[in-house]
Chain A
Amino acid sequence: MKKFLAVLKREYKKVVFKWTFLITTFLMPMIASMFVLVPMLIFSIEGEETRIAIVDRSGNVEKRLRQNLSPEKIAERARQAARESLNDLTAGQNQQLENSSKQLGGQFSFVDYEAGSKHSDEVRHELRRMVADKQIDAFIIIPEDLSAADLKVAFFSRKAGDFIVNSTIEDAINGAVRAQRLANADISEEKLRQINRRVQFETIQLTESGDSKGTDGGPVAAFVVAMLIYIVLAIYGQAIMSAIVEEKETRISEILFSSAKPFELMMGKLVGVGLAGLTQLGIWIASLLAIVSFGAASAYMSDLEIAVPVISPLTVFYFFVFFILGYFIYATIYALIGSMVTSMQEGSQFAFPPIMLLLIGLYFCFAVVRDPNSTFAFWVSIAPFFAPIVMPVRILSELPPFWQIALAVFLNLIAIIGLTWVASRVYRVGMLMYGKRATIPEVWKWIKQV
């Protein structure tokens, strides 16, 4: 036991005190939070006030336009956009950018300009000069005939690249012109709003027990979790393999085997590296939760109705249980491969089968998220090798009955015991075989040896 702990301690320190570990452990959450925080920061930098002169040839739009550009209206519009962006997580980059910009709007002040009956070329000329003299930043010319099919409103701006201002103005003009057109057609704006009101579409997840809950961003969280497990299992499996190959290549195993039982050595290595993996994952999960709750908190403060995935302590617990199961399954497979091969290059060729298994598990997740209660989802979420990735995803999508989770744990434990039994036998013999890679029949013989 003492020796097992000595091995464990060394393996843990070896992984954790490496600068690559420190970087990946703390950089990942930083990058992740940057994706959340940086856009918030950038968009929260308030632009300067835009001074606008409005030339309204029709005489009916200016008042409404000024209203639409008032701070209250802009704030209302921002809330609306935020709600939309949350409901549509699959929106493309452009769409999201547009939504974000709508959430911010801009500030406007109005400079009175009396056009009178001046010719439009003259008006334009004068206004341009005012822009040049920095009396105003922009001006809008609204034509006389609002009913024209090809109505064009020109917005001249010193900073035409400010897409936030542009989109705000565009929306405001559209709104004002539409309102005036409706008025011209004798339709009340209020009535039209009633007619146009969108149906509220709500997705409600029915659970086995008949309860219902909203989907609450669960699928997104599920994919993040599946990827996280996949990445960590692949990385730490490879780490185990290279550690074992190193000891074999440098013949350290000879000294190790003369000091401790091979089983102690192998398990010490597996558990030590596993704890290092847990440390990293723990930090990641903690910061993920922190980012999510920060996002939720800031949404709450700006009184947005935001859908934050509900992650209960039980879910987190299950997540770690299945991570540990997955780790031991794949780490023993990698340990097995490591003791069969003679060099790291050879090992990488043989690392393909476990990666394949992991990938298949990852793909199963897509089907499971779509229908977490199908027979297919049931089988792949309890099957050894796949359950460690699929079951957490299923739990996040919709909590399956406890017996299914217990069955998955049980089946995977059996797989781990079997794999460890095989791996420790191969390890014991393989680590002392130098020079050539072991063939499958040879390995079979080692396994049968008592």
Chain B
Amino acid sequence: MEDQSATLTVDSVSKSFGDFTAVSDLSFEVRAGRIFGFLGPNGAGKTTTIRMIVGITFPDSGKVELFGSNVTPEIQDRIGYLPEERGLYKKMKIQDQLRYFAALKGIGQKEADRRIDYWLDRMKLAEWKKKKTTDLSKGMSQKLQFAATMLHDPDLIILDEPFSGLDPVNVEFMKEVIAEVKSKEKTIIFSTHLMETAEKLCDDILLINKSKKVLAGSLRDIKKSYGRNIVALRCKGGDEHLQKTDLVARVVEHADESEVFLNSLEGGQRLLRRLIDSGAEVTKFEMVEPSLNDIFIDTVNKSA
């Protein structure tokens, strides 16, 4: 699969339940070999959209195209879907459970067993093979679910909140695994409302709010377009300049430094001069890009 070709095309898709519009006229493309961040607050329509992509539900209008085709059962076999609500049979042995999920994706038992061994080993769950799901901790069943998602070697992997319930060590571990999967030219859709994680992982993002698209594009471009109008500042004194002035829009205090939002991109130099003139002791002054979280909050507020 060449880069830049679209794995997934969502074309003016709408879906409503009774009077409630879950997704309204949504269009976007996901390019092959990239991690696509599907972002939005809870209830924005993320899960509904994903369900239409994996063929669980169907759009009222519009069209979903995967690998250049409608979502047919054959196409479904090329998707690996990790739902937000994890589902595993409680009383089934882990090996049997994975065999079943593999069979449902059309993988024969011999091949399935080979892959089960690989993935259980990769997820550090090998010794649990003959145990039941009820014996696993939450983090472990999360990892098991991820293994189940990957068994049939899907070309498109959809991860709905993959890190929820994981401890920091396991979050790092999973990021590693996801990066490894990406390096095999797989396309990953990563749905979350946690901007920090998305920021570190995603190549492209789509931000939706209240059933509508509000922002889309490559993370790089989006950040660039917002420009460096934030100062990460650590200083003593000069408090009179760190209030809402002609230069400063607002200040957010963190534990050991402040984030100063400027009214214009050029205001940085003037603020620094003012601080020094007023005798403040500046130990850190860095023009930074807005975080995805800032962009998210900003955009959601604007669109509201």
Chain A residues in contact with chain B, CB under 8 A? 2-3, 6-7, 9-10, 14, 246-247, 250-261, 432, 434
Contact = CB atoms under 8 A, between A and B. Distances in A.
B148 A255 contact: yes
Contacts, number: 63
A252 B88 contact: yes
Contacts of A260: 73, 104
A54 B5 CA distance: 113
Between A246, A257, A258, the greatest number of chain B beta carbons within 10 A of the residue's beta carbon is seen for A258
A3 B83 contact: no
Interface residues of B, number: 26
Given A246-B89, A250-B88, A255 B106 contact: no
A261 B73 contact: yes
Interface stretch (B23-31, B54-62, B191-199, B273-281): B54-62
Nearest to A250: B87
Given A257-B56, A432-B57, A6 B104 contact: yes
A80 to B, nearest CB: 58
A258 B56 CA distance: 6
Given A258-B81, A260-B73, A432-B57, A3 B103 contact: yes
Contacts of B104: 3, 6-7, 256, 259-260
A251 B85 contact: yes
A279 B85 CA distance: 35
Contacts of B90: 246, 250
B89 A259 contact: no
A250 B89 contact: yes
Nearest to B92: A14
Contacts of B56: 254, 257-258, 432
A3 B51 contact: no
Contact of A253 (B87, B101, B105): B87
B100 interface: yes
A99 B71 CA distance: 74
B285 to A, nearest CB: 49
A252 B87 contact: yes
B76 interface: yes
A203 to B, nearest CB: 53
Contacts of B77: 259
A343 to B, nearest CB: 14
A251 B106 contact: no
B106 to A, nearest CB: 6
A317 B92 CA distance: 35
Given A250-B89, A257-B56, 10 more contacts: A3-B73, A3-B104, A6-B104, A7-B104, A9-B103, A10-B100, A254-B81, A258-B56, A259-B76, A261-B73
Between B54, B57, B83, B87, the greatest number of chain A beta carbons within 10 A of the residue's beta carbon is seen for B87
A184 B101 CA distance: 92
Shortest 6 CB-CB contacts between residues of A and residues of B? A252-B87, A6-B103, A251-B85, A259-B104, A251-B87, A258-B54
A258 B76 contact: yes
Contacts of A254: 51, 56, 81, 83, 85, 87
A253 B87 CA distance: 8
16 contacts: A7-B104, A246-B90, A247-B87, A250-B87, A250-B89, A250-B90, A253-B87, A254-B83, A255-B87, A257-B55, A257-B56, A258-B55, A258-B83, A259-B101, A260-B104, A432-B51
A258 B103 contact: no
Contacts of A6: 100, 103-104
B86 interface: yes
Contacts of A256: 104
A250 B81 CA distance: 16
Contacts of B54: 258
A255 B85 CA distance: 10
Contacts of A3: 73, 103-104, 106
Interface string B107-122: 0000000000000000
B44 interface: no
A3 to B, nearest CB: 6
Contacts of A250: 87-90
Contacts of A251: 83, 85-87
Contacts of B79: 258
Interface in B15-57: 51, 54-57
Contacts of A432: 51, 56-57
Contacts of B106: 2-3
A435 to B, nearest CB: 11
B100 A255 contact: no
A259 B81 CA distance: 9
Contacts of B148: 255
Between B96, B100, B101, the greatest number of chain A beta carbons within 10 A of the residue's beta carbon is seen for B100
A15 to B, nearest CB: 12
B110 to A, nearest CB: 14
Given A260-B73, A432-B51, A252 B89 contact: yes
A432 B79 CA distance: 19
A265 to B, nearest CB: 9
A9 B92 CA distance: 14
B209 to A, nearest CB: 23
Contacts of B89: 246, 250, 252
Nearest to A248: B87
A252 B86 CA distance: 7
Contacts of A434: 85
